[in-house]
Structure 1
Amino acid sequence: MTPSARLSAAIEILDRVLAGASAEQALTNWGRASRFAGSGDRAAVRDLVFEALRCRRSFAAMGGLGGRGLILGGLRAAGTDPAGLFTGEGHAPAPLTEEELEPRPPLSELEALDCPDWLAPQLRDSLGERFAPVMQALRHRAPVFLRVNTARCSLEEARQRLAVEAIIAEPHPLAATALQVTAGARKIHASRIYAEGLVELQDAASQAVVEALPLVAGQRVLDYCAGGGGKTLAMAARARLALFAHDADPGRMRDLPVRAERAGERVALLDGAAVSRQAPFDLVLADAPCSGSGSWRRAPEAKWALTEARLQALCALQADILDRVAPLVAPGGHLAYATCSLLSVENEAQVEAFLVRHPGWQRRDQRVLTPLDGGDGFFLSLLAAP
């Protein structure tokens, strides 16, 4: 595909996303219908789409609405003259219209930061002086991290084995198990070391959250909002635990047994009734549903889909989860509340309200990570049961 043809493909996909399709599904459907596109073409188109979604507001201000406007704005943001690519020849986008050629006004602060107007006050209050740098960081592609299964392999051994398969990775200070991939990331899934369960794709901040948990061999541990089980397996690699996983949507855990077997670990999957029967637990991790604002680099659609009503509903759900899991913790045990949110209303405020509702509980530790630390934004509060 020519560069212009890739732009046309990205425009088509973005129009589908803006109409309501998920980016992943739109990309998959396009790939299936475009057998002529090689792996390099598919990767390039994917990058164009996700860059436009991360920078949707600024690109629209520079180029216009719709997929075409976003791609046009992206070219201008990169300092590329779009006229040589929007030619209408072959599979290129149609030539620029007179309206598209008109000068655009300078970007406002929030446009330049790709920040929704309604959410800016909360983000400013939550991030303080880090507001602008964090929002700027969220406009760029996230690094690729691996978690080394240190129960079976050292960081150096993993790094060397990855290098044999042309995957270059270096240790990252955010977590002792983290390797940042600097080359060859698309080869990870096909690598032998991945197939053998010695490494897993996992953000470094997520690894840091698990590293902060007070895990001791022999403990009974519940991952209450397990999802795909990334943190479940990270906990399993830290200590020999009696490990249980639960999710409100059991379908999210469908790959966990296979992943656990590959990693050489055992995890018991529990439904709601079984959770109560298996209680109490020495530690319960509640990585609660949230705005996902700390991971907008990876899921940029979530930034623009979030509404005030949705945020209020999430906060109510978070409080409900905290109240539900508190009785599952053994006396003297720990409840670890985590989100991948940057918003204090989902983080510090939730913990403060929980402590008011549950006298006797104590906050033992609290950590706040932002993309400025290298990984996603994450919050963790470690609460001790009376």
Structure 2
Amino acid sequence: MTPGARLQTTIELLDLVGAEPRPADATVSQFFRNRRFIGAKDRADIAQAVYRALRRRARLGWWLGRYEHPATARAVAIADQIAGEGRDADAVAGLFNGGKFAPMPLDDGERKLVRQLAGHTLDHPDMPDAVRVEVPAWAEPSLRATLGSRFAVEAAALIPAASIDLRVNALKTTREAASKQLIADGIQVSPTPLSPFGLRVVGRPSIMAHPLYRDGAIEIQDEGSQLVALLVGAQPGHQVVDLCAGAGGKTLAMAASMENKGRVIATDVLDGRLQRAKLRFRRAGAHNIETRAITGETDPWIKRHKQRFDRVLVDAPCTGTGTWRRNPDMRWRQLGPGLETLVPLQARLLDSAARLVKPGGRLAYATCSMLIDENAAQIEGFLARNPGFRVVPLSELWPATVGGTPPRNEPYLSLTPAQDDTDGFFTAVVERNPAVTVDEAATSDD
């Protein structure tokens, strides 16, 4: 494709991402599936330009607002090329020539914008702090309350694209063997610093085409997500529930920790996701996983299985602020429930999940959020409502589940991109008092 054709396709895709009520990655994937004539290099260049603009949306929008220009996809592309990429303004204007597959010529307002942006860089001293670090207004107060003096550093670390992390499936191979094979096949990896089963990939090779992935020996999973699953402490022979299993990544990691012994029940309100997860489970050779669709936190199945499980994981629905490196559009578009809906839902899920935990058993609560409302505040509220539980501090938990010394001396695990080079994750583990007796009305019937 010509530079003009790539730019026009980028503009079309930016328009589509803004209009579609679904995550950007799904829109981008569908866009290219419908246009298989676009070559691999052009697809990569166009996708990179689209995600680059999404990562710069606040700053690009600030420049357009400064010059009182509507934030159309064409204007965003112009601002990204000139202020963001530092390209010559006349050269950028020249791409809008109306030629075959190229953008239509600039109108008077766009020509004025090109002149105004000429010579500027992306950042400007007059930008508010939140704009400079791409934090939307809805998240700024809670992020500031959570991060304090680290607000700017941590928010800035959420802007660049995340690396690709792999979890080595201990049911099929070792980290050393997987690393050796990947490197031999031209995929450069190194051990992750915290997860004993993780490998970090250099660049963005096609992992899903590799035999290790197709055979279930490796899974794509952020190091932080791997640590969440390890901190659950699922052991061989345990009875475990993954209450919000979703696509099953943490379910698989727990099954591997259990060495296929015992039972993991993966539940979710979306049965379709569970059915798709079954394919991952089979590929990974995880034979101790069962799936069950439930209607929600009040499903009768939960009541019938009171105090029957050694470990329960609540990977709660959340704002996903910790995943902004991977999903930059999530900052700006509310594609699911907002914070005002999520916080009470998380509390209800915690209380419901607690009913499943046997005396001496543990409940792990996790989010991919960096907002205090969804994290430590939830655990504090839970403990106030459920005095029969105690926090298992990270200093006690980490050596027995991950091994070694925890990254910080805190009661809960709070991972951030700036400190840990992972997605933002929160994990707390609480334990039921072993003196609590099992309700005689509970049964093990399905």
Note if contact 2:364-2:428 (Cα within 8 Å) is conserved in structure 1: yes
* SS of structure 1 residue aligned to 2:361: strand
Corresponding position: 1:238 with 2:257: yes
Note if contact 2:270-2:293 (Cα within 8 Å) is conserved in structure 1: no
Note if contact 1:3-1:85 (Cα within 8 Å) is conserved in structure 2: no
| Cα drift, residue 278 of structure 1 | 4.7
Note if contact 1:341-1:377 (Cα within 8 Å) is conserved in structure 2: yes
Larger C-alpha radius of gyration, 1 or 2? 2
Q: Distance in 1 between matches of 2:255 and 2:336?
A: 37
Q: Distance in 1 between matches of 2:199 and 2:228?
A: 15
Q: Which amino acid aligns with 2:257?
A: R
Larger displacement relative to structure 2 (90-99 or 317-326): 90-99
Q: Distance in 1 between matches of 2:194 and 2:321?
A: 19
> Which of 300, 314, 321 pairs up with 1:286?
314
* SS of structure 1 residue aligned to 2:372: coil
Residues 331-380 of structure 1: CA distance to partner in whole angstroms, max 9, x if unpaired?
11000000000000000000001111111211113110011211100000
What are structure 1's unaligned runs of at least 5 residues?
none
| Cα drift, residue 6 of structure 1 | 1.7
Corresponding position: 1:158 with 2:169: no
Larger displacement relative to structure 2 (33-42 or 375-384): 33-42
> Which of 73, 78, 81 pairs up with 1:72?
78
* SS of structure 2 residue aligned to 1:255: helix
Corresponding position: 1:259 with 2:280: yes
Where does residue 61 of structure 1 map in the other structure? 62
- Rate the CA distance shift 1:236–1:346 in 2: closer, same or farther, 3 A: same
Corresponding position: 1:270 with 2:289: no
Where does residue 373 of structure 2 map in the other structure? 345
Q: Which amino acid aligns with 2:327?
A: A
| Cα drift, residue 309 of structure 1 | 7.7
Q: Distance in 1 between matches of 2:180 and 2:335?
A: 45
Q: Distance in 1 between matches of 2:63 and 2:184?
A: 44
Where does residue 98 of structure 1 map in the other structure? 112
Q: Which amino acid aligns with 2:170?
A: T
Q: Distance in 1 between matches of 2:87 and 2:234?
A: 52
1:308-347 equivalent positions in 2, closer than 5 A: 310-347=338-375
> Which of 414, 419, 422 pairs up with 1:368?
414
Residues 182-231 of structure 1: CA distance to partner in whole angstroms, max 9, x if unpaired?
04x34211111111111000011101112222222110011000000000
| Cα drift, residue 82 of structure 1 | 4.2
- Rate the CA distance shift 1:308–1:290 in 2: closer, same or farther, 3 A: closer
Q: Distance in 2 between matches of 1:203 and 1:50?
A: 19
Where does residue 46 of structure 1 map in the other structure? 47
Note if contact 1:113-1:132 (Cα within 8 Å) is conserved in structure 2: yes
Q: Distance in 1 between matches of 2:325 and 2:174?
A: 29
What are structure 2's unaligned runs of at least 5 residues?
295-299, 394-411, 434-446
Q: Distance in 1 between matches of 2:336 and 2:282?
A: 41
- Rate the CA distance shift 1:172–1:309 in 2: closer, same or farther, 3 A: closer
Where does residue 218 of structure 2 map in the other structure? 199
Larger displacement relative to structure 2 (215-224 or 64-73): 64-73
Larger displacement relative to structure 2 (66-75 or 339-348): 66-75
Larger displacement relative to structure 2 (326-335 or 61-70): 61-70
RMSD: 2.1
